[in-house]
């Protein structure tokens, strides 16, 4: 997931810097998360509009086109810009790209990027960046506002607030975006006034910024914006309302998730209801999960129900896991069932591990069974030990270790003899020992293994549960964000 997001960012970044006359770089992108601004201040080439449209992530031919577009846009850009784009593909920090001894981009460029991120700008640099917010080049505006967003001082805040009332709508839009990065409480009142701006991008970015600042004074104006004529403004307002911890907005969000014409807005309202853990919205979210025509809205409704963590959501989630046509909806429903803690879902989850067509659904269903920790392991979970997918086998073994059902010992031993994945094999040893497989014959087999990792895992298991953690915790993938 992080790799695909980085690839998208790098493609967009490089598209900005491609200066070939008459060309246009197009990159398919995924929907931005709550940490990104709703109204972009950039375009994908000389002929693109000031805000680009996003499409769902793709695989196969579409993904190949994305890769080709990134590589085409990369040709001829400066080393410094290339270093920024490379950072988007592979982030910095420990284990990142900064410590690579010899990369195609000169090492001095990577050092300059690192220093630029760490240093505090002086007054001269701040003035240059502020002036650059008015540039006709969208890439210059984008870089300027993001660099300013790293520096949270009074000079930056004052400059951005002043530009909220500039004559040019592009400058007002980028100023609101910058205030969202900086998150100053002193900007709440100017941003509330900007919610009435004639330009939709200014209203959307101001709503997004107010959500990040998280000040209760903005709640009522943001709720009023849920009826804005522009879908992207309503979407930004719904996300912002979800960030402000008050149940007084629940009724308005319920209306939006039921009635709004835009799937993106309904999806954001569902996210907000989950973020607020609005128990009064459970029945509505179940209805959305069953009936909404858009799979991404149904997926978010399932996420919201899992976040609210009430067992009354279980029947609706079980129905989605059984019948929804979307792999993403079924997977999120399985995750939510593990989160709400209703053991009536055990058999349904076991069936999903055994027979769902999607490996990701099977793996998440196995994880959910480990979360529920039933007394007996369902047959489908045991069959997951021999699934063709490595992750399904890993999560099935982990779940069996959580459950500790002695009737699974024979199946675990059989799976261990043929397992090729190191991580799954370690999980199977853990499951075996936790399920009572500590007979002399079993322990002798493990300790005499030719594989040193098997011997190490067996010793760790014998040392006790607190000593046994020889592989990364098998979390499911991150849940959807608006």
Q: What are the phi and psi torsion angles at 465 (to 5°)?
A: -65, -30
- Given a contact cutoff of 8 angstroms between Cβ atoms, the answer to whether 201 and 49 are in contact is no
Residues 6+ apart with CB under 8 A from 458: 429, 433, 443, 446, 447, 449
Alpha-carbon distance of 356 to 352, in angstroms, equals 5
pLDDT for residue 12: 46
Q: What is the pLDDT of residues 220-253, one digit of tens each?
A: 999 999 999 999 999 999 999 999 999 999 999 9
Residue 48: its pLDDT value, please? Answer: 27
Neighbours of 476 (CB within 10 A): 20
Contact present, 292 and 302 (Cβ < 8 Å) = no
What is the reported pLDDT for 46?
28
What's the pLDDT tens digit per position in 345-396?
Answer: 999 999 999 999 999 999 999 999 999 989 999 999 999 999 999 999 999 9
Backbone angles phi, psi at 336, to 5 degrees: -65, -40
Determine the Cα–Cα distance for residues 479 and 66; give it in Å rounded to an integer.
23
For residue 20, the model assigns a pLDDT of 43
Looking at residue 85, what is its pLDDT? 75
Instruction: Name residues of the chain where pLDDT drops below 50.
Output: 1-10, 12-36, 41-58, 91-95, 465-472
CATH class of 377-482: mainly alpha
How far is 171 from 139, CA to CA, in rounded Å? 13
Look at residue 460 in the predicted model and tell me its pLDDT: 67
Q: What is the pLDDT of residue 451?
A: 75
- Environment class of 125 (CB within 10 Å of its CB; exposed 0-12, middle 13-18, buried 19+): middle
- Do residues 184 and 152 touch, judged by C-beta distance below 8 A? yes
Tell me, what's the pLDDT at 74? 82
The CATH 1.25.10.10 portion of the chain extends over: 377-482
36-71 core/surface letters (b: 16 or more CB in 10 A; e: else): ebbbbbbbbbeebeebbeeeebeeeeeeeebeebbe
Single out the residue of 384, 338, 337 nearest to residue 363, CA to CA: 384
């Amino acid at each position: 997931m992080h790799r695909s997001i980085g690839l998208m960012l790098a493609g967009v970044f490089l598209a900005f810097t491609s200066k070939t006359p008459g060309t246009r770089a197009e990159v398919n992108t995924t929907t931005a998360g709550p940490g990104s601004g709703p109204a972009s201040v950039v375009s994908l080439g000389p002929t693109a509009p000031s805000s680009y449209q996003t499409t769902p992530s793709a695989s196969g031919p579409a993904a190949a086109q994305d890769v080709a577009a990134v590589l085409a846009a990369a040709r001829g850009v400066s080393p410094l810009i290339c270093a920024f784009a490379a950072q988007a593909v592979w982030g910095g920090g420990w284990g990142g790209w900064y410590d690579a001894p010899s990369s195609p981009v000169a090492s001095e460029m990577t050092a300059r990027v690192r220093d630029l991120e760490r240093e505090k700008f002086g007054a001269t640099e701040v003035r240059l960046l502020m002036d650059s917010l008015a540039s006709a080049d969208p890439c210059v505006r984008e870089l300027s506002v993001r660099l300013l967003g790293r520096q949270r001082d009074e000079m930056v805040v004052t400059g951005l607030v002043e530009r909220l009332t500039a004559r040019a709508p592009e400058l007002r839009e980028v100023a609101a975006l910058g205030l969202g990065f900086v998150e100053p409480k002193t900007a709440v009142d100017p941003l509330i006034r900007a919610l009435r701006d004639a330009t939709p991008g200014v209203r959307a970015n101001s709503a997004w910024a107010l959500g990040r600042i998280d000040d209760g004074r903005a709640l009522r104006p943001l709720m009023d914006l849920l009826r804005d004529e522009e879908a992207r403004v309503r979407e930004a307002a719904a996300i912002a309302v979800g960030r402000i911890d008050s149940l007084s907005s629940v009724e308005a969000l319920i209306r939006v998730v039921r009635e709004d014409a835009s799937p993106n807005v309904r999806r954001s309202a569902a996210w907000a209801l989950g973020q607020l853990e609005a128990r009064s919205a459970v029945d509505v979210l179940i209805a959305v999960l069953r009936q909404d025509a858009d799979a991404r809205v149904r997926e978010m409704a399932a996420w919201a129900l899992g976040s609210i963590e009430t067992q009354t959501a279980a029947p609706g989630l079980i129905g989605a896991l059984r019948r929804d046509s979307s792999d993403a909806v079924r997977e999120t429903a399985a995750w939510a069932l593990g989160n709400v803690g209703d053991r009536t879902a055990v058999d349904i989850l076991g069936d999903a591990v055994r027979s769902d067509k999607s490996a990701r659904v099977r793996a998440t269903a196995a994880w959910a069974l480990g979360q529920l920790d039933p007394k007996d392991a369902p047959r489908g979970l045991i069959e997951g030990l021999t699934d063709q997918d490595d992750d399904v086998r890993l999560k099935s073994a982990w779940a069996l270790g959580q459950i500790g059902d002695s009737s699974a010992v024979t199946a675990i031993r059989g799976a261990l003899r043929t397992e090729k994945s190191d991580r799954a094999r370690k999980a199977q040893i853990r499951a075996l020992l936790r399920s009572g497989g500590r007979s002399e014959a079993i322990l002798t087999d493990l300790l005499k293994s030719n594989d040193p990792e098997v011997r190490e895992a067996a010793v760790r298991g014998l040392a006790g549960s607190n000593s046994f953690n020889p592989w990364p915790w098998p979390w499911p993938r991150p849940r959807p964000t608006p």
